[in-house]
Structure 1
Amino acid sequence: MLNVPERPLSSTRPVKNRPTTLVQWLDQVIDLPQVRVQVRLRGNNLYILCEGQECPLRSLLLLRVVRALAETNLERFVPNSQPQVYQVLLYGRSLGQVRPAWADVIYLNQLDRYLEKLQKGASVARSGLTDDTPTSSLAIANIQLAKQGRPDAIARYLSEFLNALGVAVRATVKTVPSRQGTPDHSRLWVMCESIYSPDASLMAESIAQKLRDLELSGFQDAIVFSQVHGEPQPEWTLRVDLTPPDEMLKEWARWGDAEAISRLLGRTCDKTIRASATLKDTTLHVSCTGSPAPDQKRAIAAIQPLLNAIAPQGIQSATVYGATAGQGDKTAPDDTPAWVEWLNLPASIHTALADSTHWLAEKGDIPAIAYLLTRLLNPDLDRQLATGGIRIQVRQKEDLLHIMADAPLCPPQNRVGTAVAQFLKPLDIPGVAGVRIYGRRAGQVRPAWSYGADFGVRDRLVPAATPEFAASDEYVGDLLTESGELTRRSDLTSNDLQAALSRLLESVQGLLTRSQLFVVSASSNQTLDAKPGISHPTKLAFVWGTLGLLLTVQSDWILGQLLKPTVEPMKPTPIAVVSPSPNVSDEIKLPQLSLQKPGIGRGEAFNGSGFTQSGQTVLSTDDRSPSPNSIAEAPIAKALAAAQLQQKAVVDAARSPYPTFNARQLDEKLVLYRQYVEKSGAPDVLIMGSSRAMRGIDPTALQQALATQGYSGLKVFNFGVNGATAQVIDLIVRRILPAEKMPKMIIWADGSRALNSGRVDVTYNAIAVSQGFKKLPNDPSPPAIAAVPTPVPESSLTQSLGTISSTNSVVADSYQAVNTWLNQSLANLSSTYNQRESLKTLFQHEVASGLKLTPSADHDADLTIAQDGQGLIDVNGFLPISNRFNPATYYQKYSRVAGNSDGDYADFRLEGGQAEAIASLAKFTQSQKIPLVFINLPLSGEYLDSVRQEHEQAFQQYMLRASAELGFTYRNLGEEWKMENDFFSDPSHLNRYGAFAVSDHIAKDPLIPWIKR
């Protein structure tokens, strides 16, 4: 451990100024020029190695170091991030030696004893300050302090064995208020910190045993956290039951446990008396042996009060025997006892105590069932008292027993589940038709495994929900989740349901028929009375058509009158008298605003040459001009860097020459990509992905950042499509984009949601049934979309998308001309057409506000951004959103969606169709020599709850494995900036400021194989 020099001292001795580091301080303390000092901090220990040409003298070093430690606060030289030092280990050896010649341990809380020993002149040359045995006086003193409940002493006590694992320990004590009628109790909090994450199986049981050995009084439990240094959350949590052994024995003895009673008798009786107990039927037989035979009165005086206080369940009497121990075996009594005493116990008087524990369990007594299961799963009483054993909690919900078994190490399912089910089934408990058993490590909330067994046929609509058991005894009686189970109505039959459905269909059919818009089919057996006089379909159609036309004209006229602007007559304006000295400040009150840009430091505004940096601007997130009052009240938003806004794209998917793919945004992006290619040529870098990619990477910012890294002149286009999954990306790249217009590099920016094969791929399924998909070639080589060749017959399925577009464009232009003429003709007749924007605004503000419609999810928030970016996408395909995510206001407008209710993570599974699409895309890009890079885009901390975090971790492992196997580059930014809400427009989408940060970050990433023109 100390063979590798960490901080060797210089051979030249510095002047003895005030030391600033630990090594400098030790150098001055030891003050031996020929001795070199090295230190290491590990856990709660400080290791000091002193070596020289000759081994340093042990007594001299101990004397100087102990005196210095007594006079100096060692924490001055220890970093704030380092845990408190509890003990110092001092070593001495000669240079070149592997093992130290001597070693000594200095407990920092026992420095006064060390000084006393040194001042008396005791020899420490050989034995050191402490004995070699663990039962030395100093070690015993530490244990005694820990048994008093002092947190610093408990931490030192635990660190003695945890330091071997490199684990530092801190301890605190907090008072936990109890329920009414019970006194408050203390809870011990233990924090174990290390540079790695030790498995719970290595530490949990040892920690539990060490803490229980202290037999702390006034403590109910201890909570132990294991945390990696620098991480915000603990890796695992452990709960240790600190109930004293005597109290645990009394609790089991109350249920008539003979072994527990025997141990209590042994602790109560005189040391000269050996007491043991056995149970036969309802009588407890107590044997008291000694040499000579114990005194009868003394023995009964000790035993009878204890048994009366315990009042064991189902034990009505006790027979006490006094005997002399045998000569060969002092623990074996002679055949004939010296005396016998009969005792009546409380169960013989109180009928509530007369029934046995087993009989109570058969009648459904929950505490009795819990006790019997506890003893069943803890056959070794010594082990249970040492570690706390397996704790059992029992709950009954309707006809099911729910049993939770927890221990410092999670109880094995194959041992616990079957044993509990086999024990409970013969009891035949009334009202119980099955059992559900769960196992977990003590301190966890959710079970690690579950096991179920039904004792009979159970008629249920859906399975019962798993209850959650409290992790602490403080709330052991509470279920954290209420039952919401559906029940079956036994009085309903299939005939009742069929009759109700028939009546409903008849009512709907009659309503539609009476409207005269529908008639009963000839095959129908039902006869409905029709009104006479309207039996001809032609006349009926003419009447309804006329009424509809009149209603349309009337509605158009009424709406036109409502939307007509009212012109008020001009009122004469009185002539104002001009004062000789007008006060401008009384008429216009300007807000006190600074003309300086907020948040821009001098070092950020100018580069090294003295000119302002290029490529980024600082913009406000709100273009509206606030009122003076709002300026005074609202806080100034933090200025963030973003690329300059580009010209908005003008795309009309309805006039696209390509057949539709049943995805409006994909249709628009195809048209926009064609425009980009015709103007600038094929892009060098193509960004693919869903709406997260469309908002998450800014092509302009990426181009500028790449230029500063030496990749100037690269063209970047964002082909993000809302809802695009791996199957959609594979389809676009391999079968839709033209081979001659392929990019030189593909950046796929998305996350785990795009690769979830468990949910329904709505976007791909819609594309798969579209006209455009049906006319795609089966050959995996991509068809052309940029050029428009001469038309070919449409029956050919191998024609390119460009050929399809040529035929469709001719037909589309003809229909468009007719459509334009009809629109212009009807617009001249309508009084509302020219005011349709006003009508839309009126409808949105009046009708929507009257209905009080409120979105309820993150996806609903996306719809407010101009219908998924329609009209806001720039010419490079990027959707710049300036909104900043503010959880305080966002969740007032939209409801919070938990991860277990998020449809994007429904039935989360990474193996399946999406995984096959990734493999297909990776193989294709490799064959085309196009680098493929997957960027896992950031998510906000508000979005990453425990359920989503678990799926994201599984996604990380899958992508690391897939990238190595399939040969593409994977970069993980999932938790970057997760606490920077200003970089997000909603919980899962970046805004233009976040897109700028991501673009700048990936441009500087040395692991991304950027290309040069």
Structure 2
Amino acid sequence: MVLKIKKGPRGSRLDLQAWISETIGLRGGRVRVCRRGNDLHILCEASICPDPEAILPALKSAIAANLETWLDSAYQAPVYKVRVYGRQVGMRYPKWTETIAPDQLDRETADLSPKGKGALVWNRTLAGQGDPQAIARYLSETFSPLGVGVKVQSKAIGKTSGSYRRLYISCFSNYSPDSSLLGPTIAQQLRDLNLRGFQDAIVRSLVRGEATANWTLIVDLTPSEVMLRAWGRWGDVPAIARLLNSSLAESGVTVSGIGKESTLHLFCQAPTTPDQKLVSYKIADLLTSLRPQGIHAAIIYGHLTKQKKPLWVEWLDLPLLGDPERAVSTVTLAEQGDRAAVEFLINRLLNPDLDEQLLTGGIRVQVVRQGDLLHVMLAAPVCPHQSQTAPLIAKFLRQLKIPQIAGVRVYGRMSGQRSPTWNYGLDFIRRQPVPPAPTSKLIRAKRTSAVDTNNHRILDKLPELLLSDSLDLSLASDRISGKLVLVIKQSLIRSGLFVPRMELSRATVVPRERRSQLFIVISEFLSTIVWMALGLLLTLQIDLVLGNILLPAAVIGQEEEGQAVLASSQIVSPYPSFINPLLDEHLGRYHQLLMASGPPDVLIVGSSRGLRGIDPQALRQVLRSQGYENVSIYNFGVNGATAQVVELIVRRILTTEQLPKLILWADGTRAFNSGRKDLTYKVITSSVGYSQLVAGTLVRPTYADSEETIMTLINPYQDVFDIPLWGTRYSHYPKDIDRWFDRVLGSASALYPQRDRLKLLLGEQLQQILPSSMLDQWGDWDILKDPEAPELLTIPGVLDPDGFLPFDLPFDPGSYYQKHPRVPGQYDRDYQAFDLGSTQREALNSLLELTKANHIPVVFVNLPLTAQYLDPVRRKYEQKFRQHMESLTAPRELIFRDITLLWDGGQYEYFSDPSHLNRYGAAAVSEHLANDPMIPWHVLKEN
């Protein structure tokens, strides 16, 4: 059945295919239609290959009759080319191909063959004149093969006849192409047209069927000559030389130059002797019109090509025409605080390649002064990298020593974005803390930025972004302890010395027909008592022997710490165990802190790098010197903690009333690599505490000042002792009884407090006994194989009262690598299957959703590493991680501070191993963070 379409194609694929089929009238065959960008592909196939002479004339006539429908139809992007193919059914390749340009059907001289260049040259010529359809056709030559359709419109910016115009370019596709793929290419092609009368172009990427753009790009269409003259006005020698080369191109003269103090030296070369009058006139005319900043005279040298000795030399005075500001150099003007001069110098600093900048527009710079700060906005077709630009700008501005400028704030974004993607700050001198105000909120919440209403240089407010849904976690069905028991059981049965309990009971059944029922009950009871007594005696013996073995290793160093160290046995956690001794101990310490003084002002989270990398006491001292008195800080670092573990602690275990005013997340790349096994999190999910958390039955303590609560804190087990063993009340207190048994066993048993060490010891022994196939079936075996793994360095009982784990040992590469293997980056498990998305990214989104709702700033600190650790492979991954974190900062209100190379990979005395700080490095990092102006310490003074 063929649809009857009388007015040409209406837009849908079905309408178009039916219209083309009816137009062609292909009998005994079929027509297929496919759109890619602005190209329409038509495949005609039949049992006998269709004749192009019978198909193309009718198709061309139909297209010409409905030309308006093709070029300005309901399609989001018009059709600029129709490619027709003919083949026999069953053949892989077409027998013939023909290209039809709908807008050129009335041009008899147009070369429409696939190999011809006539259409392309014609489009390029018209596009250079500013014709929107020609520009669209010109761009479609590149983007249609990518499946991206282009539509171009032109509108005047002002209402006057001589005002500039603006191009509006829409890129339609079935997917969302990366802006870094299309942006630079579009910018390059548009600027290559050298359009006159156009100020800029706004490019939008749209997915078909969606109303809003995925991204927007603004391309500066200022002609190259105008840009060169603007730079030449500031005395830029390469720009002046480029303008002179353009002016003297017809004479065959090439010009190069250097600037020395206030004199410009120009070297003019040609195959024959350069015409001195002509060259001097052209140079004088250009320099007089430019009046370059700080240049008082020019010396012109005439050379033959490839000869050093000049044929003639001419001196040229450049009158300043009574303008004293033009007499000083651009650098001197910038040192005096001239905003335009500073803007130009930063522009040239970030765009050293003149050709590259003219090709795409380069990095655009805007500078605003506000108080004692300079705010610098960077924009480019691809967002500039923070690590490659911001420190360079800060160093340059520090060297300028501009009067009354105490610091700089740098922002980066893609041209066209309303909000900065990242920000960076550096104070040249110590500044007084600024109370919360609209300007300081730029740092605290990243919602507003520096404004200069006179110059309309406003960094727009960041849009409120919806974060992704929380990660849906389900309870793991298998627990590590259950897997261990199953493996041991199977090994014992396979040895032949043991049989399953069911078979044993059946083998020892004694006929009971002649026994009385009472005798049977008594004998079973006595048997049970005897076996219980033997089992209890054996258990006590094992407990005593293994406890004596494990206990010395657990208490080493506790006596040396003295009264400053809290023993783990003194920590009472109100939560059931999460099978992570350090997490359990932190929860107990945090519980005591909440009882004593409420939630801390600053909470430090992260893995072992954070646990050992920020000293709360040192941080508190520096903050006190800055006017922040009595700041409460707690280090909640957990060995092996990833983004999932941090999200679990902050978002799900703690309540909003227990959260701090500021969160410092101290860690590195490892915490966000979703490709590696997150063993720490997996072990926690197999715990009783996690089971209750997921089931919604986890009982959290309250911190009211009632008499009942105070009595409970004095004797937390009094209510448990009052529970009757029989009756209805028992069903209401299973968790309390379980907690009571846990405490009793912990105090009576020598082995129970060291059960995690026993688990590690058993793991080491079983690894040597059990077959490797069984170990492979147990997916969590890796966590017991490596006793040096960070996940196992729990060391309970040696934390200081603020949760910090101090290490005194300095890192000595010579002695360290005699005891430990040097693991190259390509074999480092922390970077295996490197993936910064997936589960860890979802955990971060969930955490930031909570902190945003409660107005709690989150500062992620990428802690220092040694040069021994940062080999080329790890450096590559660290660079990817920095770029990833910089892309997350603005839209998700995460402040990213990268201090990986704080000491340029050196200062080994600040490290305890290649990637972990010791107590002296932690103190140095704490001091550095306390003086970091981008960290919103002022929230500590807010109620």
Please report the TM-score for the alignment, with normalisation by the length of structure 2: 0.48
Larger relative contact order (C-alpha < 8 A, sep ≥ 6)? 2
Higher radius of gyration, 1 or 2: 1
